Structure 1
């Protein structure tokens, strides 16, 4: 079995203990750690990670990059440009890997050499349940029509080296989201083979859209609309129409049942999509 070199890119801002908990999970990999490098792209002003990273000397090959430009897309690009591995992956600073995560990713590339990019799932092994999405139990070829429920950035593993994140999107920009979807759509535009597989799993705290502030709902929707405009064509126009119609109908349903707060949230999700699509250049 071919053993590939992996580069784990970890953009971080505002977290301390979680970063080291993630690194601890990397040290527990069943995969040969000498074939793993971790690129910590540090955007912090007040948190100092340098001393804590030293404790991994001899256990992990960690490259620590201090950057002054804020933005997750920029941070990921710093990692991509400095990565030396054959496979790149992007971890959240509050995620964790299971001991077999890297081993499973390597095996996926071994058994499917024509695939350029794999997306795994976010899963809680202790509770035996999916996190974030209801992940499928079978592999899926990802297209512009089915990506919605089959990808997540923190479980992306790719052999593509010359693919970069659009720094107009993502946390730290006016859109606040979208760099990971744009990255996937760029790969599809370039005719790369992209698959979801349930064989790769990572852990991340559960995220609920119901806990999002109204401001975040609006800006996330605005980012999605802008992405649809950037990749305009029938698939993304269709996706925008379907998702916008859903938000509009939900708004009307909540309104006539006197759930005005929920109706307003749906209005923001609808309006943000349209605004993002119209204003993106």
Structure 2
């Protein structure tokens, strides 16, 4: 099984490798979304997926991906499942395939996403470089690119097949001031003043009410409002 592998390094002193099925390129810049956009700009394959340095791939994952796109030929992008090294689901997943909605995209992780590259390029869909690690807002880039794809009329599906293995993060998300600041900015960026705004605030309220929230209700809302106003 042959794959084209493209690795983007954000190191001004990094080396360069350019081989038929493996490219390693370095750039003097910072930010996860910038790195992913570099990869999208330089990728040449029909189907692209995002990798990470702490992932393993399930046996037969590529066959699962190809079958999913054959089963849903209208799909511009498909999201799949992560399992832990012990074989357990990384998070709760539906048991049946479905077409993504504004609500369902909030539950997607970047390493679950697979796209037709031409669909992204045709509609100018990229990661928002204001969001993600190393950017002004530390999270939310996955949800934004999926939301932008829906805005452009792309067809996104979920298929309940395991494609990657990732250790379970037992500590979970840290629900602190920075988290709610970023999520407030996320909702503003995604929905602006559209009718979907209420959906965004319902999502935020679910986060505020979680037991691991480190802030009071008032402090959580203050951080969300600050992020909302920063976009």
> Which residue is 1:191 aligned to?
153
Counterpart for residue 24 of structure 1: none
SS of equivalent residue, structure 1 residue 80: helix
Structure 1, gaps ≥5 residues long: 1-31, 255-260
Matched, 1:71 2:28: no
Q: Where does 1:222-233 land on structure 2 (aligned, <5 Å)?
A: 222-232=181-191, 233=194
Once the two structures are TM-superposed, the CA of residue 91 in structure 1 deviates from its matched residue by: 1.1
Structure label with greater radius of gyration: 1
Taking the TM superposition and a 5 Å limit, the aligned residue runs for 1:32-71 are 32-33=1-2, 36-44=3-11, 61-71=21-31
Higher RCO structure, 1 or 2 (CA under 8 Å, sep 6+): 2
Q: What secondary structure does 2:92 align onto?
A: coil
2:144 is aligned with 1:182 = yes
Tell whether the 8 Å contact from 1:166 to 1:182 is kept in structure 2 after alignment.
yes
The 3 A distance-change label for structure 1 pair 161 and 147 is closer
Partner residue, 2:110: 153
Q: How far apart, in 1, do the equivalents of 2:156 and 2:6 lie? A: 24
Q: Report if the CA contact (8 A) 1:118-1:195 is conserved.
A: yes
Residue 266 of structure 1 deviates from its aligned partner by: 6.2
Q: Does structure 1 residue 85 correspond to structure 2 residue 45?
A: yes
Residue ranges of structure 2 left out of the alignment (5+ in a row)? none
Change (3 A) 1:229 1:211: closer
Higher helix share goes to which structure?
1
Deviations 1:139-182 (A, max 9, x none): 12111122233x22101111024121111111101211121111
The answer on whether the counterparts of 2:187 and 2:201 sit within 8 Å (CA) in structure 1 is no
Against the structure 1 CA distance between its residues 109 and 74, is the aligned structure 2 distance closer, same or farther, given a 3 Å change threshold? same
Task: Tell me, in whole angstroms, the C-alpha distance in 2 between the residues paired with 1:208 and 1:184.
Answer: 26
Partner residue, 2:180: 221
Give me the TM-score of the superposition, normalised by structure 1.
0.71
Determine if the alignment matches structure 1 residue 96 to structure 2 residue 23. no
Distance in 2 separating the partners of 1:128 and 1:91 = 19
Distance 1:224 1:156 in 2: 21
Q: TM-score when scaled to structure 2?
A: 0.85
Aligned length in residues = 224
